[in-house]
Amino acid sequence: MIDEHRTGSGAAWWALALLTATYTFSFIDRQIINLLVDPIRTDLSLSDSQVSFLQGLAFVLPYVILSIPLGRIVDRANRIRVLVIGILVWTVSCVTCGLAKNFWQLGVARMGVGAGEASVTPASWSLLADYFSEEKRALPVSIFLMGPYLGAGLSLILGAEVVGWASGLGSIELPLVGVLAPWQLTFILVSIPGLCMVLLLPLLRDPPRMERLSNDATSMTWREIAGYVWPRRGVFGAYLLGAPFIVLVLYALQAWVPSLLIRVHDLEIVEAGRYYGVIALMAGSAGVLSGPVMSRWLARRGYGSRAPLLTSISSTLLLIPVLISAGLATSLPSALVLIAGASYLVTFPLALFATGLQNASPNEMRGLMAGCYVLSTNLIGLALGPASVALANDFIFADAKAVGASLSLVGAIFLPLAVLLMWRGLLAIKRDESLA
């Protein structure tokens, strides 16, 4: 068993590697459906709005409903065990997605994926805060937060290869299961890495909890939590209210760019997966690492605790014209360049939100605050991101090939709102600093 917990030790970095791999695999299982939209829609006779429900609400409802209860459990129980149970739930559910024969079966299976994955963020954030001290935490958290972009990219790159291989096989028949289409086989195959993490994570021990408000082992009561958060509402509000609308645009991109490349730019599924997979992998990972670098640069120039939000506001203001142009681009090369730019800019703030919440929270409520972050970003971001594009496509443009215009419209509406909310949070931080 690995039981060394000192910051910077081999055990800490090994834990980071396993947690990042877990986060990455969770996003592969979560996002693989985005590559399979058209075959699922054809085989199950679904509309874009029904597909968007499977991409968004079916996953996000259990994900957000369980985020705060699981956050409280993480603050009290063995975090490794919570994580392992969550992985088992989502991998079994992902296999079930591959066995689904109609809309409702696939919807219930997607709910199971969401329920299992709800454990990942609260448990992992809390563990990383105890493996790495505050002054050394930014880099590990940034590496961990590469997981979604590694997962989104790999789900498209490897998923495209799996789809190509499965399509070459055609429909196959398995005992007790029946005939499986290529998209169903893809769901089953991508669930395998999650089972590997079930075997590896128990090699870690749950580290001692550090940076507590008190030395006893009890968690904070709800009244104590409110008493801690309310005087610091400017800081917590900045992180919990600024993120959701940026995440909304992120999920809209991840959900609909493959369909944009297929419907508007006439790529095959495998080609679209390869192109966007590389973009999501490289641009998304670069963005999540670049945000903290820019924030530290601003902090050294006197902006202090305001630097993270200033960085987030600046990157979002740049994102607005880039995203609108990406959706309206008429040639494939220009679309790919602009999509890469949008994928880079939309990921800038995410590590800053995560690190800021960890640093602002005592150990007794880190799992809860991570759950609140999951709740706010996903209730708005994941629930509305894919759906907003689909609704615009179905009811405003009424054209399957207008998916680019729908993406542009979503960006034009929600990104300015994100800037406004972050600016209000920035003013709150400045006001709190003046009273300190």
Residue 42: inside a domain, yes or no? yes
pLDDT tens-digit readout, 242-283 = 788 999 999 899 889 989 999 999 998 888 888 988 898 889
CA distance 22 to 200: 10
Instruction: Estimate to the nearest angstrom the gap between the alpha carbon of 325 and the chain centroid.
Output: 24
* Domain count across the chain: 1
User: Would you say residue 183 has pLDDT above 80?
Assistant: yes
Residues of the chain with pLDDT > 70, as a percent, come to 93
Residue 212: inside a domain, yes or no? no
pLDDT tens-digit readout, 209-242 = 765 555 554 567 888 888 888 877 777 877 787 7
Residue 20 token pair:
């990042």
Residue type, 327: G
More confidently predicted of 208 and 97: 97
Residue 358: inside a domain, yes or no? yes
User: Would you say residue 287 has pLDDT above 50?
Assistant: yes
Residue 133: inside a domain, yes or no? yes
User: With bands split at pLDDT 50, 70 and 90, how would you rate the model's confidence at 420?
Assistant: confident
User: With bands split at pLDDT 50, 70 and 90, how would you rate the model's confidence at 3?
Assistant: very low
In this predicted structure, what is the pLDDT of residue 399? 87
Reduced to 3 states, what is the DSSP secondary structure of residue 204?
Answer: strand
Place of tokens 């509305």: 384
CA distance 40 to 32: 12
pLDDT tens-digit readout, 376-392 = 887 788 778 888 998 99
User: Is the separation of the CB atoms in 83 and 124 below 8 Å?
Assistant: yes
Alpha helices in 32-171 (DSSP H): 37-44, 48-55, 57-74, 79-99, 103-117, 120-131, 138-144, 147-169
Which residue segment(s) compose the domain that 167 sits in? 10-204+220-435
For residue 207, the 8-state DSSP code is P
Q: Please name the helix (run of DSSP H) or strand (run of DSSP E) that holds residue 33, with its range, or none.
A: none
Residue 3: inside a domain, yes or no? no
More confidently predicted of 175 and 49: 49
Residue 209: inside a domain, yes or no? no
User: With bands split at pLDDT 50, 70 and 90, how would you rate the model's confidence at 318?
Assistant: very high
CA distance 221 to 291: 34
User: Would you say residue 79 has pLDDT above 60?
Assistant: yes
For residue 215, the 8-state DSSP code is S
User: Would you say residue 199 has pLDDT above 90?
Assistant: yes
| Phi/psi-derived region of residue 174, left when phi > 0, alpha when psi is between -120 and 50, beta in every other case | beta
pLDDT tens-digit readout, 87-141 = 999 999 999 999 988 999 999 999 999 999 999 988 998 898 888 876 677 778 8
The Cα angle at residue 138 between residues 206 and 362, in degrees rounded to 5: 55
Nearest to 288 by CA among 23, 105, 95, 33: 23
Q: Which of 10-19, 104-113, 390-399 has the highest mean pLDDT?
A: 104-113
Residue 385: inside a domain, yes or no? yes
Q: What is the rounded average pLDDT of the residues 317-346?
A: 96
User: With bands split at pLDDT 50, 70 and 90, how would you rate the model's confidence at 8?
Assistant: low
Residue 93: inside a domain, yes or no? yes
Reduced to 3 states, what is the DSSP secondary structure of residue 216?
Answer: coil
Q: What is the rounded average pLDDT of the residues 187-214?
A: 83
Q: What is the rounded average pLDDT of the residues 141-147?
A: 83
In this predicted structure, what is the pLDDT of residue 368? 81
Annotate 256-277 with DSSP letters as a single string. HHHHHHHHTS---HHHHHHHHH
More confidently predicted of 7 and 421: 421
CA distance 79 to 400: 44
In this predicted structure, what is the pLDDT of residue 4? 46
CATH code, 351? 1.20.1250.20
User: Would you say residue 2 has pLDDT above 50?
Assistant: no
In this predicted structure, what is the pLDDT of residue 433? 66
Q: Is-above-0.85 flag for pTM?
A: no
pLDDT tens-digit readout, 38-52 = 889 888 888 888 888
More confidently predicted of 2 and 8: 8
In this predicted structure, what is the pLDDT of residue 378? 77
Residue type, 249: V
Cα–Cα distance list, 92 to 173, 239, 244, 325 (Å): 20, 33, 29, 40
In this predicted structure, what is the pLDDT of residue 328? 95
